């Protein structure tokens, strides 16, 4: 292997005198590349990773400011230097493109590289092998985000290690032929999996365009053989890339398969064409809760209690598996013909360990603005308690027809979310227990919020839900809220849309973006 090959020194660090000046005697640059590094608060930071035959360097890329002040020396740009012998292993996401470099005596580094991760791994593993005469430990995980596998500075002070117990023992040369997405070796040294373009017209009849989702189109279809009705969530590969929703789409694909709960949507089938990715999902004839709320203005308290009880079970299920939903709103709640609900749109779910509330936080700003919690606005970090805040907002909106802190002015709305207490209209009568339930979910301080100590068990034990039999709810034996939809083609809860279904296959495609999608998003295919 010619380590000086330009294809590995992408940032041309071997020709940068300021970088060369910090190297030790006999130190040679083996690889340099620009990638994303994640901070302890999960903030993305652009960095240059440099691997030499002795050390790893985490370097801030040259900025306009640094170029302007030419006297600034390169040592200022070096954020961290790690001796290769201090590295003990590397954890790799099989589903995404993150990886973690483990440094047991210090703290770990979590990186993301869209197109260069395997080369980084090979060069680091080879340098490690040559220096220490043993193989670098490699750990594989199905997790898309590697937060649970990254030891932070806080963890280091507590003596917490985040590496797996079992690792792969692979020599550097074998890494060239290794496919980490399947944990199998590729035949004939081919790195790209053979992608199957599925002809869905052989199995499904496209019936009706229902609505435009956040990323793709939702289409009602019928299985030609079984005559059962489903929906396509159809996304153009190029749109997934251009809208920066690749990670969200990967998360949704994974969770649609692994989540198994009556009130969370479940994947039926997944496949791809040359240009598209398609999730086949159950058809919920009742439409979304937003449509019902818009038509009825507000719902009766008993019906709201019925809906909220199901959502408590669904969200509690996610929390038990260390996922935060983060996107609760009427538009993401579908109804079946019996009036039962199901959560959909799982792309914003976040894996967040809940075993220690003192450091299990995330910081990204996401979700519907009317449902944002105070801790997200102030950017102090949030955890699973944000879901219970959103449930409080939803309960209020379903009963009163408006969110409790709504304002046309977003700044004023955010100020109200942080400072104003909940006000209940005197024109609508609700029980004191319901008011108490809402008030306790909408506590500004997460530690005071209902659910902080025992999560969903606290909510189920609240007086407002004392007459709810959660076992019966889970079995779906209550038929009080049937929607009287006897005709499977009765689409009264969907807006009338005029859209040419054939146009999905006539869009101009960007082959470069599609290739980029195919390089990253593997193992789409699924059959229930």
Q: Which domains, and CATH codes, for the chain?
A: 13-189 (2.30.29.30), 200-284+489-496+517-527 (3.30.200.20), 289-475 (1.10.510.10)
CA angle, residues 508, 513, 515, in degrees to nearest 5: 110
Average pLDDT of the chain, as a whole number? 85
H or E, element range at 139:
strand 137-141
To the nearest 5 percent, what fractions of the chain are helix, strand and coil?
35, 20, 45
Please tell me the distance from the alpha carbon of residue 510 to that of residue 218, in angstroms, as a whole number. Answer: 22
Q: Which has the closest alpha carbon to 386: 310, 452, 463? A: 452
Please tell me the distance from the alpha carbon of residue 331 to that of residue 328, in angstroms, as a whole number. Answer: 8
Residue 452: per-residue pLDDT:
94
Per-residue pLDDT band for 527 (boundaries 50, 70, 90) equals: confident
H or E, element range at 439:
helix 432-441
The torsion region of residue 159 among left (phi > 0), alpha (psi -120 to 50) and beta comes to: left
Give 165's contacts (C-beta < 8 A, 6+ positions apart): none
pLDDT digits (tens, 9 = 90+) for 14-43: 888 888 888 999 999 999 988 888 877 667
Match 């499904």 to its residue by tokens. Answer: 204
Per-residue pLDDT band for 71 (boundaries 50, 70, 90) equals: very low
The residue with greater pLDDT, 514 or 286, is 286
H or E, element range at 417:
helix 410-419
Read off the tokens for 404. Answer: 């409790």
Q: How far is CA 56 from CA 113, 119, 127, 172, 306, in A?
A: 16, 14, 10, 17, 56
| Strand, coil or helix: 90 | strand
Classify burial at 424, counting beta carbons within 10 Å of its beta carbon; exposed 0-12, middle 13-18, buried 19 or more: middle
- 8 A C-beta contact, residue 84 and residue 54: yes
Give 367's contacts (C-beta < 8 A, 6+ positions apart): 326, 327, 328, 329, 348, 376, 390
Please tell me the distance from the alpha carbon of residue 513 to that of residue 517, in angstroms, as a whole number. Answer: 6
| Strand, coil or helix: 322 | coil
- 8 A C-beta contact, residue 95 and residue 254: yes
Match 């005709």 to its residue by tokens. Answer: 487
**Residue 383, pLDDT above cutoff 70:** yes
**Residue 188, pLDDT above cutoff 50:** no
- 8 A C-beta contact, residue 330 and residue 397: yes
| Strand, coil or helix: 428 | coil
DSSP letters spanning 323-383: EE----SGGGEEE-TTS-EEE---TT-EE---S-TTT--B----S-GGG--HHHHTTS-B-
Per-residue pLDDT band for 500 (boundaries 50, 70, 90) equals: low
* Four-CA torsion 181, 261, 434, 442, nearest 10 degrees: -10
Residue 268: per-residue pLDDT:
96
The residue with greater pLDDT, 99 or 462, is 462
Residue 42: per-residue pLDDT:
66
Q: Which amino acids are annotated catalytic?
A: 327
The residue with greater pLDDT, 190 or 250, is 250
Residue 421: per-residue pLDDT:
95
């Amino acid at each position: 292997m010619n380590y000086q090959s330009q294809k590995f020194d992408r940032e041309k660090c071997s020709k940068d005198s300021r970088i060369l000046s910090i190297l030790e005697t006999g130190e040679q640059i083996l690889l340099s590349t620009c990638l994303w590094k994640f901070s302890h608060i999960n903030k993305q930071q652009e960095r240059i990773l440099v691997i030499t035959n002795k050390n790893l360097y985490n370097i801030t890329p040259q900025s306009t400011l640094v170029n302007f002040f030419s006297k600034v020396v390169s040592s200022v740009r070096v954020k961290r230097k790690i001796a290769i012998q201090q590295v003990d292993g590397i954890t790799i996401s099989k589903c995404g493109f993150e990886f973690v470099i483990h440094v047991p005596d210090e703290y770990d580094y979590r990186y993301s590289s869209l197109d260069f991760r395997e080369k980084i791994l090979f060069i680091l593993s080879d340098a490690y092998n040559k220096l220490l005469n043993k193989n670098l430990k490699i750990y594989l995980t199905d997790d898309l985000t590697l937060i649970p596998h990254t030891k932070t500075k806080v963890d280091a002070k507590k003596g917490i290690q985040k590496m797996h117990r079992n690792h792969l023992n692979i020599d550097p040369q074998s890494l060239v032929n290794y496919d980490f997405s399947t944990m199998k070796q590729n035949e004939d040294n081919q790195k790209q999996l053979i992608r199957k373009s599925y002809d869905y017209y052989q199995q499904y009849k496209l019936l009706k365009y229902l609505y435009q989702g956040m990323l793709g189109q939702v289409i009602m279809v019928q299985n030609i053989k079984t005559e059962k009705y489903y929906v396509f969530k159809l996304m153009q590969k190029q749109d997934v890339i251009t809208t920066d929703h690749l990670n969200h789409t990967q998360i949704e694909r994974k969770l649609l398969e692994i989540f198994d709960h009556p009130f969370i949507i479940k994947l039926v089938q997944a496949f791809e064409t040359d240009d598209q990715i398609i999730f086949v999902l159950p058809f919920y004839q009742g439409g979304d809760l937003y449509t019902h709320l818009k038509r009825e203005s507000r719902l009766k308290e008993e019906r709201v209690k019925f809906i909220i009880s199901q959502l408590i079970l669904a969200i509690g299920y996610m929390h038990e598996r260390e996922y935060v939903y983060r996107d609760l709103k009427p538009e993401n709640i579908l109804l079946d013909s019996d009036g039962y609900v199901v959560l959909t749109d799982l792309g914003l779910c976040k894996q967040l360990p809940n075993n220690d509330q003192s450091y299990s936080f995330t910081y990204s700003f996401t979700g519907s603005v009317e449902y944002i919690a105070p801790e997200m606005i102030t950017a102090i970090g949030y955890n699973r308690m944000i879901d219970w805040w959103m449930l409080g907002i939803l309960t209020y909106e379903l009963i009163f027809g408006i969110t409790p802190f709504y304002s046309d002015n977003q700044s004023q709305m955010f100020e109200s979310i942080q400072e104003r207490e909940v006000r209940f209209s005197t024109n609508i009568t609700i029980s004191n227990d319901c008011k108490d339930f809402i008030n306790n979910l909408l506590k500004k301080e997460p530690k005071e919020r209902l659910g902080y100590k025992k999560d969903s068990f606290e909510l189920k034990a609240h007086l407002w839900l004392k007459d709810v039999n959660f076992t019966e709810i889970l079995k779906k034996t209550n038929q009080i809220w049937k929607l009287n939809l006897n005709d499977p083609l009765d689409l009264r809860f969907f807006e009338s849309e005029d859209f040419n279904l054939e146009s999905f296959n006539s869009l101009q495609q960007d082959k470069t973006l599609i290739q980029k999608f195919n390089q990253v998003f593997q193992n789409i295919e699924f059959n229930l």
